[in-house]
Amino acid sequence: MDISLVIPLLNEDESLQELHDWIAKVMQSNRYLYEIIFIDDGSTDNSWNLIEQLSSKNKAVKGIRFQKNYGKSQALDAGFELANGNVVITMDADLQDNPEEIPDLYNLIIDEDFDLVSGWKKKRYDNLITKNIPSKLFNAAARKTSGLKLHDFNCGLKAYKNKVIKSIKVSGEMHRYIPVLAKNEGFTKIGEKIVQHQARKYGETKFGIDRFINGFLDLITVSFLSKFGKRPMHFFGLWGTFMFLFGTTSAFYIGVYKLYNVFNGIKTILITDNPWFYIALTSMILGTLLFLAGFIGELIIKTKSNEKHYTIKEKLNF
């Protein structure tokens, strides 16, 4: 199979038929062997019924229906697990991503051997204050933190080699950072292509200003995970050991200083009246807790690495 299209959606029944017809036209004109995997992330409208209707008419259409709304990351992860195409392309279901970009993305992966190609919506039709400016700030921070020179981490239109999406685990709200996750797994040939952005035709956006606040928090998480995600003891253990040694050394000094004054008849305060005693005690406790946090983190990684964070209610054509 040439292409797997992975399309997460939430309450997009107005756009699904038009999106499907547009994709099918592009695929047939280029004679691709393809599949379209719609992931219904807990829609409360008529989206799943439309997916069933599309699937009955076009066997290339497959569907995954979640028990409830789990989020875009979990939807993509479910689609990635079942995608069979040599090239996997993700896009949004709101018609803001243009299916006409598919052939160029496919060729960049196949002909130029990119591991991943990320879309860049250079010209956007979103609200300047609530989306464009926060998006630019977020992307600038993501570039600085990750080292990847991408202009649009949030763009849903991306293309991957199949082995890339089979090598990463997308959870939480990490869909924004799939290029970073791929880089962490050793896929370094990551490119970017300017893609056409279209104004939303139906419904309302599912994302508010809070997604950028969450995005910056996730950026801190992915930055930490990039360096210490598979070896948390290297971070927590190092700082825990440092703080414990600092506390122990301080306590030893306080004790020696007290004994020296006592043996030499020098009047001195009680150890428990010395502020440094509590600083030393706190440092030793925090050091121990940090070391334990690193140890527990190592155990969690080894026992929870394959755990799924979503429940599939139905599948179509799998």
What is the C-alpha to C-alpha distance for residues 150 and 28, in angstroms, rounded to an integer? Answer: 31
Q: Is residue 316 part of a domain?
A: no
What's the whole-model pTM score? 0.75
Can you give the pLDDT at residue 126? 58
DSSP 311: -
Can you give the pLDDT at residue 231? 78
Paired tokens of 232: 């948390």
Residues 78 and 135 grouped into a single domain:
yes
Say which amino acid occupies 289: L
Residue where a domain stops, chosen among 228, 257, 275:
228
What is the C-alpha to C-alpha distance for residues 70 and 39, in angstroms, rounded to an integer? Answer: 11
Torsion of CA 200, 203, 206, 212, to 10 degrees: 40
Residues 173 and 199 grouped into a single domain:
yes
Domain that holds residue 105: 3-228
CATH number assigned to the domain comprising residue 108:
3.90.550.10
Can you give the pLDDT at residue 269? 83
Residue where a domain stops, chosen among 176, 198, 228:
228
Residues 218 and 274 grouped into a single domain:
no
Domain count along the chain: 2
Q: Is residue 318 part of a domain?
A: no
Residues 270 and 141 grouped into a single domain:
no
Residues 188 and 132 grouped into a single domain:
yes
What is the C-alpha to C-alpha distance for residues 39 and 312, in angstroms, rounded to an integer? Answer: 10
Q: Considering only CA atoms, which of 293, 175, 171, 183 is closest in space to residue 232?
A: 293
Would you give per-residue pLDDT tens digits along the chain (318 residues)?
999 999 999 999 999 999 999 999 999 999 999 999 999 999 999 999 999 999 999 999 999 999 999 999 999 999 999 999 999 999 999 999 999 999 999 999 999 999 999 999 887 665 555 566 767 777 887 788 788 889 998 899 999 999 999 999 888 778 888 998 899 889 999 999 999 888 777 766 655 556 666 666 766 776 776 677 667 888 888 899 999 999 999 999 999 988 888 888 888 888 888 888 999 999 999 999 998 988 887 777 666 655 666 778 888 888
Residue where a domain stops, chosen among 200, 228, 256:
228
Q: Is residue 314 part of a domain?
A: no
Residue 193, SS3? strand
Q: State CA 45 to chain mean position distance.
A: 27
